[in-house]
Amino acid sequence: MPEQIYQPFTTFNFSNRNCFLTGQALSTEEEKIQVFPQWLMDRYKLKDQPFKLLDESMATYKDLKIPCATDVNAAFLEPLENEIAAAFATGYEAVKNLDGLKLFQWAGKLLYGIIFNEIQSGIKQQHAQGGEFNISQSLIHKFSNLHLMLQSLNLPLIFEGFKPYSIFLFKMDNNIEEFYYRDEVNTLTFSLRINDFGLVICLQDNGANRAYHKEILDKIGDEVLHPIQFEEFSGRVFYSAYLFNRLPEYHILPVGDDIYLEAMPLRGMSSKPLFDDWMGKTYGQVLESFWKNWGFLLFEIIKNPEKPMSFLFNPDGSLINGSTLELSR
């Protein structure tokens, strides 16, 4: 018989008394790990930097922790962190050679850690006001599936014929001392721009966003991107993740000691496209946010709503060489 899958969303267990990954009881509520790994915080001096939670309260990066059994951390998480840390320190080529599943597990653990902290904060806030903490069923569905898949770290969990994620990796002309991180908890989308690479991951789309952006990816190829180009592409992915209108479903199939996870077809019984209609104005608002460092305003970006401003592509659709852009990095 395979080992038992831990399902914290069934009992809504987000206390500090149980390991976030396995559910095993902890010896102390101080048995925790950092959500943002120590090596990353040290490298980019993040510990005391502010981190805004969804309820608008402020924490610091070092405040974000998650309960984790010491033996689980040593056996499953530290080896992953060490491998990711080494690749990230080396740069694009090393990251490119990482197993996509490892990147998914690493990004998923980080984003789930943020979700865990958000839920804990929400529960405390509601209890203080004498109310019950409410969360939509669709979010519970997404978060519980992400947590299930994170158990591929510690259980013989096999993704049968599919990848639950879309990964986008680009070679960058970054300011290598700077750290740019962004996430969208509702769509489980994550982006990171450090060293000489930029990374975007959709954690729960079964590869749909990668297929959606295939034409653009083919044009970019292995070209080195300017940061504003990466942020433009990130904006596209964050927006398409919002437009993605399916909640992926999975079958869990225990076979011997293994646990197979089988994805149900995304189209299901619906003839509706997987993505809602792309709206130029809404996309422009996304770009305004993603291009904040460069100060472009919405009215400039969507002067032509059908063809918003782009630093990735010329009007004829050809790729702009990032090295020709006279913009700050």
The DSSP code sequence of 111-163 is: HHHHHHHHHHHHHHHHHHTT------HHHHHHHHHHHHHHTTTTS-EEE-S--
Q: Are both 150 and 181 inside the same structural domain?
A: no
Q: Residue 2: its pLDDT value, please? A: 59
Q: Residue 276: its pLDDT value, please? A: 97
Q: Are both 126 and 35 inside the same structural domain?
A: yes
262 token code pair: 């089988």
Q: Residue 1: its pLDDT value, please? A: 46
Residue-wise pLDDT tens for the chain (329 aa)?
457 899 999 988 899 999 999 999 999 989 999 999 999 999 999 999 999 888 778 899 999 999 999 999 999 999 999 999 999 999 999 999 999 999 999 999 999 999 999 999 888 887 777 777 788 999 999 999 999 999 999 999 999 999 999 999 999 999 988 999 999 999 999 999 999 999 999 999 999 999 999 999 999 999 999 999 999 999 999 999 999 999 999 999 999 999 999 999 988 768 899 999 999 999 999 999 999 999 999 999 999 988 999 999 999 999 999 999 999 98
Q: Are both 148 and 168 inside the same structural domain?
A: no
Our count of domains for the chain comes to 2
Q: Are both 152 and 165 inside the same structural domain?
A: no
Q: Are both 84 and 224 inside the same structural domain?
A: no
Q: Are both 154 and 165 inside the same structural domain?
A: no
Listed residue (121, 158, 141, 126) closest to 252, CA to CA? 158
pLDDT in tens, 83-106: 999 999 999 999 999 999 999 999
Last residue of a domain, one of 109, 135, 158: 158
Q: Are both 251 and 112 inside the same structural domain?
A: no
201 token code pair: 């991951």
Q: Are both 25 and 168 inside the same structural domain?
A: no
Report how far apart, in Å, the C-alpha atoms of 289 and of each of 72, 231, 251, 275, 297 are: 38, 10, 38, 22, 9
Burial class (CB in 10 A: 0-12, 13-18, 19+), 311: buried
Q: Residue 125: its pLDDT value, please? A: 81
Q: Are both 208 and 293 inside the same structural domain?
A: yes
Please tell me the pTM assigned to this model: 0.95
Q: Are both 164 and 68 inside the same structural domain?
A: no
Listed residue (196, 139, 96) closest to 9, CA to CA? 139
* Residue-number span of the structural domain to which 130 is assigned: 1-158
Q: Are both 112 and 244 inside the same structural domain?
A: no
Last residue of a domain, one of 135, 158, 181: 158
Q: Are both 289 and 148 inside the same structural domain?
A: no
Last residue of a domain, one of 141, 158, 175: 158
